[in-house]
Amino acid sequence: MSSPVDQAKNAEKFLADTVHEERLDKLLWTMRMRRDAAARQVPEWEELRTLASEIKEHTLSNLSQYLIQFEARATANGMIVHWARDAHEHNQIVYEILAEQGIDALVKSKSMLTEECELRPFLERRDIRVTETDLGERIQQLDDQPPGHIVGPSIHKTTKDVAVLFSQKYGSDPNNEDAAYLAGVMRENTRPDILKARAGMTGANFVVAETGAIVVATNEGNADLSAHTPPLHICSVGIEKIIPTTESLAVFVRLLTRSATGDAITQYTSTFRGPRKGATMHVILVDNGRSTRLGMKRFWHSLKCIRCAACMNTCPVYRRSGGLSYGSTYMGPIGIIMMPTFELRKYSELPFASTLNGSCTNVCPVKIDIHEQIYAWREVMEENGQIQVVKKDAMRVAGKVLSHPALYQIATATLSTALEVLPHFAIYNRLNAWGKHRDIPEPARETFHEWYRNRRRKTDEVTRL
């Protein structure tokens, strides 16, 4: 059993490097401002959010029916549809498709699902070389790091970081931080892989049941290159990505990019209806814990997520911690409520990496009550004995003092013991956590309670006179 990810400690490390922290905070806050501006342009924005939420809830409530409909249509369109119960089954299916044709190299566009399934290491262990074609994802691959953000995987890196990394991996100029130059380096180095690839892989943003179509939204066009150049296209998709109709797709397309980056739409929104002439197209429908989550009364709503990352961009904790601090595939507010469904203990500390300020819930284009779910997860952690012993002990003391007026008054009445109550839940974790970067408030000479008692006594005396 793995020990819990210490997000707080990882965040502290990230914060120590002010250059990266300040940059990430500003960059993502700009995204949030761009999102606000884009939403302002759409008068029916809140209605769209409601509609999107209702479509997702309806689809998730009739999931099996829509999946079966999709399978029938996609098959009729000439796709080969697979079902994967979990990550291993998914990876095995991909491997077998490739192995059957003796393919030892794969180009792929960004897919959080393949990150979740840890597909890349699985294939690499079987001598299949994988080239990520999304710039940010490629940067993370070269740096041997998972994505730090679900839309911009390497958003926590500066252009200087990338220049140094590319110089080590590609022999480019370490001092040239020009973004266009760096994108050019990446292009020169990955384009040959794409051109000679015999298999390409993509994820999917939406899957339309009515038409059996797959929809992929990217800005770099790399998904189209990866899917169209080789004669074999494998598409992995989580079962929650399904929507009923092309008409409903319009609602999501309007919301997705505006929420993510503030643009009206991505550069490429591609619909794949079936294989090209002479090519093969496989679709793998992946569960990997989704149907279990669908059965969770308090938490199934997180399946509505369309992966726009608006919740990360607005989250004041994420912006100051960096995505890698969560030690998980999905990070930020949505990651906090999704990850414990995969591994409760490992992600038991994540629900505490939030101030419960609620901004995430307000920006979510499909109206997931994210901060309410974070709150609910804390209770689940408590129910499952996942709260640290020191914290639990401190809470027990606080709970005892605060439920007994006499104890409370004794504890707060004198200057020295007044500090016992607040710092008890402030100090429990690390030595005087409150006081590390902040001054501790000075206890008053007289509590309100004492003041009131004395004042009332005087008033009563006056009345008697």
Partner 1 sequence: MQVALMVPCYIDMFYPRVGMATLELLERLGVDVVYPKEQTCCGQPMANSGCYEEARATEEHCARVFGPFDCVVTPSGSCTHHIRNKFTAGADSAEKQNLVRNTYDLVEFLHDVLKIREFPWATFEHKVALHTSCSAIRGLNMASMSERVHDPVFSKPRALLSGVSGIEFVEFERVDECCGFGGTFAATEEAVSARMGYDKLAFMQKASPDCIVSSDMSCLMHLQGCAHRQKQDIPFYHLAEILNGVSL
Interactions with partner 1, residue window 40-79 (CB under 8 A): 40, 43, 45-46
Nearer to partner 1, 121 or 441 (CB): 441
Does position 344 interact with partner 1 (CB under 8 A)? The reply is no
Tokens 């999709």, located at residue = 70
**Segment 153 to 192, residues that bind partner 1, using CB under 8 A:** none
State phi, psi for 204 to the nearest 5 degrees.
-150, 140
Taking alpha carbons only, the member of 231, 307, 209, 226 closest to residue 268 is 226
- Interacting span for partner 1 (CB under 8 A) from 7-15, 151-159, 202-210, 234-242: 7-15
Question: At closest approach, how far in Å is the CB of 188 from partner 1?
Answer: 39
Taking the C-alpha atoms of residue 233 and residue 425, their distance in angstroms, rounded to an integer, is: 55
Using DSSP bridges, classify how beta strands 129-132 and 213-218 pair: parallel, antiparallel or unpaired. unpaired
Does position 440 interact with partner 1 (CB under 8 A)? The reply is yes
Nearer to partner 1, 274 or 316 (CB): 316
Selected binder of partner 1 within 85, 126, 129, 449 (CB under 8 A): 449
Does position 259 interact with partner 1 (CB under 8 A)? The reply is no
Question: At closest approach, how far in Å is the CB of 265 from partner 1?
Answer: 19
Question: At closest approach, how far in Å is the CB of 303 from partner 1?
Answer: 22
Does position 382 interact with partner 1 (CB under 8 A)? The reply is yes
**With contact defined as beta carbons under 8 Å apart, do 82 and 265 qualify?**
no
Question: At closest approach, how far in Å is the CB of 461 from partner 1?
Answer: 18
Nearer to partner 1, 266 or 359 (CB): 359
Q: Around Cβ 387, how many Cβ atoms within 10 Å?
A: 17
Contacts of 99 (CB under 8 A, 6+ apart): 126
CA torsion sign, 170 to 172 to 177 to 181?
negative
Selected binder of partner 1 within 438, 460, 464, 465 (CB under 8 A): 438
**Segment 8 to 47, residues that bind partner 1, using CB under 8 A:** 8, 11-12, 15, 21, 25, 29, 36, 39-40, 43, 45-46
Taking the C-alpha atoms of residue 360 and residue 259, their distance in angstroms, rounded to an integer, is: 11
**Segment 388 to 407, residues that bind partner 1, using CB under 8 A:** 391-392, 395-396, 398-405
Quick note: the x/- pattern for partner 1 over 186-225, rule CB under 8 A, is ----------------------------------------
Taking the C-alpha atoms of residue 241 and residue 59, their distance in angstroms, rounded to an integer, is: 9
Question: At closest approach, how far in Å is the CB of 304 from partner 1?
Answer: 18
Question: At closest approach, how far in Å is the CB of 196 from partner 1?
Answer: 46
| 210-227 core/surface letters (b: 16 or more CB in 10 A; e: else) | bbbbbbbbbbbebbbbbb
**Segment 315 to 334, residues that bind partner 1, using CB under 8 A:** 316-317, 320-321
Question: At closest approach, how far in Å is the CB of 156 from partner 1?
Answer: 15
Question: At closest approach, how far in Å is the CB of 205 from partner 1?
Answer: 23
Nearer to partner 1, 277 or 297 (CB): 297
Question: At closest approach, how far in Å is the CB of 406 from partner 1?
Answer: 9
Quick note: the x/- pattern for partner 1 over 288-317, rule CB under 8 A, is --------------------------x-xx
Taking the C-alpha atoms of residue 436 and residue 430, their distance in angstroms, rounded to an integer, is: 10
Nearest-5° Cα angle at 307, 177 to 118: 75
Nearer to partner 1, 10 or 189 (CB): 10
If phi > 0 it is left, if psi is from -120 to 50 it is alpha, else beta; for residue 41 that is: alpha
Does position 429 interact with partner 1 (CB under 8 A)? The reply is yes
Question: At closest approach, how far in Å is the CB of 412 from partner 1?
Answer: 5
Question: At closest approach, how far in Å is the CB of 325 from partner 1?
Answer: 9
Taking the C-alpha atoms of residue 90 and residue 84, their distance in angstroms, rounded to an integer, is: 5
Angle subtended by helix axes 370-383 and 332-342, to nearest 10 = 40
Taking the C-alpha atoms of residue 331 and residue 311, their distance in angstroms, rounded to an integer, is: 10
Please provide the DSSP assignment of 361-407 as one string.
Answer: HHH-TT---HHHHHHHHHHHHHHTT-S-HHHHHHHHHHHHHHH-HHH
Half-sphere exposure of 32 (CA within 13 A, CB side): 19
Selected binder of partner 1 within 74, 239, 353, 368 (CB under 8 A): 353
Does position 408 interact with partner 1 (CB under 8 A)? The reply is yes
